[in-house]
Amino acid sequence: MGQHKHLYDSRRWRQMRSLQLSIEPLCRMCKAEGRVTAATVADHVTPHKGDEALFFRGELQSLCKRHHDSDKQIIERGGTPRPTFGADGTHPGWR
């Protein structure tokens, strides 16, 4: 957030965040892994890098803090997140 704090502090963003989390209350990445986890972060699908138009008009997705702070950051840097496994020992992509 740092240098873009003024965007995240805006009333408009708080309303957008609230709407996103009400529309999609579960973490999209957890759901893809076969888990149900409440989302707490409205994440910009495409990094905005301070571009106000993209910040306020770009696509959002709901994520849990763990996925936002780990896997999403790895993806944004061009990496591949580590595979995760369900309680039954399988990876959701293997089903």
Residue 76 lies in a domain: yes
Number of compact structural domains in the chain: 1
pTM (whole model) above 0.85: no
Task: Note whether residue 78 is domain-resident.
Answer: yes
Task: Say whether 82 sits in a helix, a strand or coil.
Answer: coil
Contacts of 35 (CB under 8 A, 6+ apart): 27, 86
Residue 29's domain comprises 2-82
Q: Domain for residue 92, yes or no? A: no
pLDDT single digits (tens) 47-86:
898 999 999 999 999 999 999 988 777 676 666 666 655 5
| 34 within domain boundaries | yes
Asked if 44 contacts 55 with a C-beta cutoff of 8 angstroms, the reply is yes
Any residues with CB less than 8 A from the CB of 92 and at least 6 apart, and which?
32, 33, 34, 86
- Give the residues across from 61 on adjacent strands: 43
Identify the sign of the CA torsion 53, 56, 57, 61: positive
13-40 per-position pLDDT tens digit? 999 999 999 999 999 999 998 999 999 9
Give CA–CA dist 87/85, Å, rounded.
7
Q: How far is 86 from 25, CA to CA, in rounded Å?
A: 21
